[in-house]
Structure 1
Amino acid sequence: MSARRLTTLFAGALATALFAAPALAQGTLRVAMTLADIPLTDGAPDQGTEGVRFSGYTIYDPLVSFDLSSADKAAELRPALATEWKVDDTDKTKWVFKLRQGVKFHDGSDFNADAVIFTLERTFNKQSPTYDASFNRQLQAYLPSLGNWRKIDDYTVELGTKTPDSLFPYQLTRLLVVSPAQYEKLGRNWAAFREKPSGTGPWKMEALVPRQRMELAANKGYWDAARVPKLDSLILLPIPEVSARTAALLSGRADWAESPSPDTVEKLKGGGFVVSGNAIPHMWPYTVSQLPDSPFADIRVRKALNLAVDRDGMVEVLNGLAVPSVGNVTPDSPWFGTPSFKVKYDPDEARRLLKEAGYGPDKPLTVKAAISTAGSGQMYPLLMNEFIQENFRDVGVNLQLEVFEWEALRARRRAGAQGPENKGITMLNNSWNSMDPYAALLRFLGPGEIPPAGTNWGNISDPEIEALVDQVRNEFDAKKQDELLARIHTRHVDQANFIWVVHDVGSRALSPKVKGHVHAKSWFVDFSPIYMQ
């Protein structure tokens, strides 16, 4: 499929620009998000990882965070509300975390061990009066190893894992600590808390209009002096339609547009806008069902469809706003390994494998994929899926698309391929962050990760991989961890467990007034150093 043909899908979309907002103070940044609504503000954001980016890491802090200060190297773990952590020498299921002292919540109360325990109780203890099922639903899949917790003293907590898990600190990047004092002040009502949230983060929520905007004010008393925001305020605008986001930028309604229209890249650059991208750990694949009644239970079909994808053509269509994907991680990752199956574009070999698997003109293969209209990191799902549809048609495969709003697609994801609501659907098009070993690999593999426990949507079961996963969880030497992860990824690619397409570059278009932006090699963004000229 030609780039010219597909990019006409955007033709005329920018003819009617969105209304221009009144001029704002120089210290205000307005961001057009890909989301259809404002993510939940209670410390357990919905809307996927983009929700964490915009209403998670802005208002709240985790115990362990990522260093987002460099555009040249992968974001690494750094201390946040925990200053240090260590696994017990004699019991590898026990981790001790020393907490940062002198930190205040936005409501003025103290951050301490009680706040950490409160946050865990409201999320994972169904017997707690503070428990809310929405917190568990959003976080369970991201902290699967957590088994127990206890306060040692006011600034020390012990967190226990169900079994030894050397990768446990990565999971804690998603645990955002909330204020128990604010919850009490608001009558122990989580709905009221969402209207007046209180975290320790660099931004305080000032106003929220569902589906329209969220206004955040800089927390000038933020505990990390190096990351006190330079801006006065941050305004988040949910604009899920790609052309509308770009129009908002061009009209002056927004200063920053996530995932701008690919066909407007040259126009934006010519107008002085900055189109920023970096190869971030974020993949756009199809997860496929390997249940017995799925055609993807046959590895020949999985390999064939991988060979049917013209990844370079896709990147051309996206005007360079992606890079081809040949696995869950990029080849320069220490976890990539040495797969013998080469993910490439080879339609002739794809047809041969399909014929060998019993498909052809007399028995065409029809598969159905669940996709979204937009959403957290979904890039340009309608455009991209239509491109894949034609790629598959070229090798005799009929790809049917069932389109969902992003949160509805996530509900289908949480049900797993085995869920009755997913009957007839054998592919899930969901973008995934791959910032750490668990997110990149382990959460997709093995029976313990099958929904609702995890995100092994396709019910992948491979004893060889499962044995390696057990080894890496019990290995606390970083170099040996990398070696084991490389073996897991090698096997994963050789089994063609996914249909890989591209890696995201986290594309965003910025007004020339936006300064100080660092495009980290991460799905997350640090808004603290940004200012408006």
Structure 2
Amino acid sequence: MKSSRMRPMRFAGAAIAAAFVLSACSPATAPAPTATAVGPIDKAVVSLPAPNLSFDPTKSVSATDRVTWSMINGSLMSLESDGTVTPGLAEKHEFNADFTTLTAHLRKDAKFSDGSALTASDVAATFTRHKGIEGSTISRLTDRIDSVVATDPLTVVFTFAKPYPSFVSELAAGALGIVPAGLLKNADGYYASPTVTSGQYTVASSWAGNKLELSANENYWAAKPVVDNLTLSVVEDANSAISQLQSGQIDFAADLAPNFVTQLKGAPNVNLVKSDVYGFFDVRMWNRSGPFADINMRKAVNAALDRKAIVTAIWGEENQPQAGFWPSSMPGHDGSKPVDQDLTAAKEYLAKTSCANGCSVRMMYSDQDFPFSGQLALMVQSQLGKVGIDVKLEKLDAATMIDRLFAGDYDLVPGAMASSGNVPDQLLANALLGTGFLKAEFTGYNSEEMNKLVATVFETDGEPRLEAVKKIEAQFSQDQPFATLAPWVRGSATTLPAGVFSLVGAEAKMGSLKE
């Protein structure tokens, strides 16, 4: 799919590192990405298995939509391919002394795709609109903002109800891309088919037949993207994605199931890419009612799971078991947590429950969510069966499963949670905060002690923040609201040169041309 009209140039960007060693409070300084000699590419196709839901970041949690936002939305900060956060539309910023106000200064050359100036009024209008959406999927970001005011055409001031020291890192999310203030007067119409964008690409042709056509934004403030015309394609079947990759129909097959990535080892002209995501795969348990309202039932599941067997079967050597909350890529990780199956302990916990003499629970799953969900569900069924928990499996379509998650209508379900970068706030707001939009990763878990620790992480910096991160691990081990299995890794295959397109956490990065 790559154009033959290539001339020698250099582009920024590098393949994802397998792991990151990062500080507790902000992305660490990382080596500069390696530039690779390559010319511009006329066309490229990226496939993803998740269905697209919406251009509106307040209405979607789709991985495909997150990639779309990364490509068409210009944000105040930028996420680099090595995971670091750098200036974006805002060339500089400063906090006040207690982190309750942030002043951002925009680039003078920032423009929208139609050539109009991108100003502080557009920034204020974008964030004010997002704040006003009830049930927003990005409320964890916007609810902490008290006000956004444009003090002059290039200066915008954010005021927070409480200290928000990690806000700068949050601003790299594609979901927070800037939209023209005038078009937000009819926001529903704009997000139905974005006509003007602030990111690397514009929408050439909206979603049709599971494909979205994007064209390079000629008025983008930074260097031009390596690929002139980018197609995003939803290919739910991994066999089809691999076939299309090998036949040249697509150039980057993202989020392949681990066993499919393994099959491609040694394939000619195919590069395998593993990218760590700042999060984990897990088994969720509904905490508020039913069998798993009993903490001893949750502890029994945690003890009965054979994490080593699960990781070996699904990821092989490309991952490792995890039992605590923090993945190995984030501060607070406790590598001493036991990951071995302990059937004796599991039975001792069950002896204190109504399941002492055996019981049945429901486990729903959807292969549209993760392609290995069915395999994982079968393994959980087998492993819990050894201690007398009879797991009844329910295979659902993704939409039905999401409805059931929000309703708390389940006992067990395979899950995963991640943040877009090495920012503890995002993972905590989604996975452990009982008052958050996702109700602690749909588990209904709501601990006053945990909520206080999460608030401390949100509102502090330095040692107090790091200490709270460590205490969260201890509180998680005590309450065990769900069972983590392994760090989240994304496996992809590509025929593109290294660094042209890459997945970074929950976001995506397109390399840029540099003379």
Would the TM-score normalized by the shorter structure come out above 0.5? yes
Deviation at 1:218, TM superposition (A): 2.0
- Which aligned pairs between 1:185-334 and structure 2 lie closer than 5 A? 188=186, 190-191=188-189, 194-225=192-223, 228-272=224-268, 273-291=270-288, 293-320=289-316, 321-331=318-328, 333-334=330-331
Name the counterpart of 2:412. 427
- Which whole-Å CA distance do the structure 1 matches of 2:169 and 2:400 have between them? 27
* Structure 2 residue 465 is matched with structure 1 residue 475: no
- Which whole-Å CA distance do the structure 2 matches of 1:176 and 1:409 have between them? 29
Name the counterpart of 2:156. 157
Deviation at 1:294, TM superposition (A): 2.7
| Secondary structure at 1:384 match in 2 | helix
Cα contact 2:76–2:177 (8 A) shared by 1: yes
Name the counterpart of 2:21. none
Q: 1:405 to 1:483 in 2, by over 3 A?
A: same
* Structure 2 residue 102 is matched with structure 1 residue 104: no
Name the counterpart of 1:130. none
- Which aligned pairs between 1:331-350 and structure 2 lie closer than 5 A? 331=328, 333-337=330-334, 342-350=338-346
- Which whole-Å CA distance do the structure 1 matches of 2:60 and 2:441 have between them? 19
Cα contact 2:417–2:430 (8 A) shared by 1: no
Deviation at 1:389, TM superposition (A): 2.0
Q: 1:388 to 1:283 in 2, by over 3 A?
A: same
Instruction: Give the one of 67, 71, 79 matched to 2:80.
Output: 67
Question: Higher strand fraction: Structure 1 or Structure 2?
Answer: 2
| Secondary structure at 2:474 match in 1 | helix
Instruction: Give the one of 60, 77, 82 matched to 1:46.
Output: 60
Deviation at 1:337, TM superposition (A): 4.8
Deviation at 1:322, TM superposition (A): 3.8
- Which whole-Å CA distance do the structure 1 matches of 2:452 and 2:239 have between them? 47
* Structure 2 residue 34 is matched with structure 1 residue 35: no
- Between the aligned residues of both structures, percent identity stands at 20
Cα contact 2:280–2:327 (8 A) shared by 1: no
Aligned length: 473
What is the TM-score of this pair, normalised by structure 2? Answer: 0.82
Name the counterpart of 1:143. 142
Partner deviation per Cα, 1:404-432 (whole Å, 9 max, x = no partner): 4334434444x353xxxx2xx13343321
Cα contact 1:323–1:505 (8 A) shared by 2: no
| Secondary structure at 1:232 match in 2 | strand
Partner deviation per Cα, 1:323-346 (whole Å, 9 max, x = no partner): 32222322463222587x634322
- Which whole-Å CA distance do the structure 1 matches of 2:282 and 2:371 have between them? 11
- Which whole-Å CA distance do the structure 2 matches of 1:405 and 1:456 have between them? 19
- Which whole-Å CA distance do the structure 1 matches of 2:293 and 2:207 have between them? 46
Deviation at 1:101, TM superposition (A): 2.3
Cα contact 1:277–1:506 (8 A) shared by 2: yes
Give the AA of the match of 1:244.
Answer: S
Cα contact 1:32–1:238 (8 A) shared by 2: yes
Instruction: Give the one of 71, 85, 96 matched to 2:93.
Output: 85
Give the AA of the match of 1:202.
Answer: Q
Instruction: Give the one of 359, 369, 393 matched to 1:365.
Output: 359
Partner deviation per Cα, 1:171-230 (whole Å, 9 max, x = no partner): 43332211234567xxx46335533432211112111243421111122442123xx211
Name the counterpart of 1:14. none
Cα contact 1:35–1:240 (8 A) shared by 2: yes
Q: 1:153 to 1:474 in 2, by over 3 A?
A: same
Cα contact 1:243–1:261 (8 A) shared by 2: no
Give the AA of the match of 1:169.
Answer: V
Name the counterpart of 2:31. none
Cα contact 2:114–2:219 (8 A) shared by 1: no
* RMSD of aligned Cα (Å): 3.1
Instruction: Give the one of 376, 383, 388 matched to 2:380.
Output: 388
Give the AA of the match of 2:509.
Answer: D
* Structure 2 residue 425 is matched with structure 1 residue 438: yes
Partner deviation per Cα, 1:301-340 (whole Å, 9 max, x = no partner): 212212222222222222435432222322463222587x
Unaligned runs of 5+ in 2: 6-40
Deviation at 1:277, TM superposition (A): 0.9
Q: 1:527 to 1:44 in 2, by over 3 A?
A: farther
- Which whole-Å CA distance do the structure 1 matches of 2:145 and 2:440 have between them? 16
- Which whole-Å CA distance do the structure 1 matches of 2:142 and 2:339 have between them? 31
Deviation at 1:56, TM superposition (A): 0.3
Cα contact 2:434–2:440 (8 A) shared by 1: no
Deviation at 1:474, TM superposition (A): 3.3
Q: 1:385 to 1:210 in 2, by over 3 A?
A: farther
Name the counterpart of 1:9. none
| Secondary structure at 1:279 match in 2 | strand
Unaligned runs of 5+ in 1: 1-20, 127-132
- Which whole-Å CA distance do the structure 1 matches of 2:114 and 2:475 have between them? 50
- Which whole-Å CA distance do the structure 2 matches of 1:86 and 1:208 have between them? 38
- Which whole-Å CA distance do the structure 1 matches of 2:358 and 2:197 have between them? 55
Deviation at 1:391, TM superposition (A): 1.9
Deviation at 1:95, TM superposition (A): 2.6
Structure 1 stretches of at least 4 aligned residues deviating more than 4 Å after TM superposition: 21-26, 42-45, 181-184, 517-521
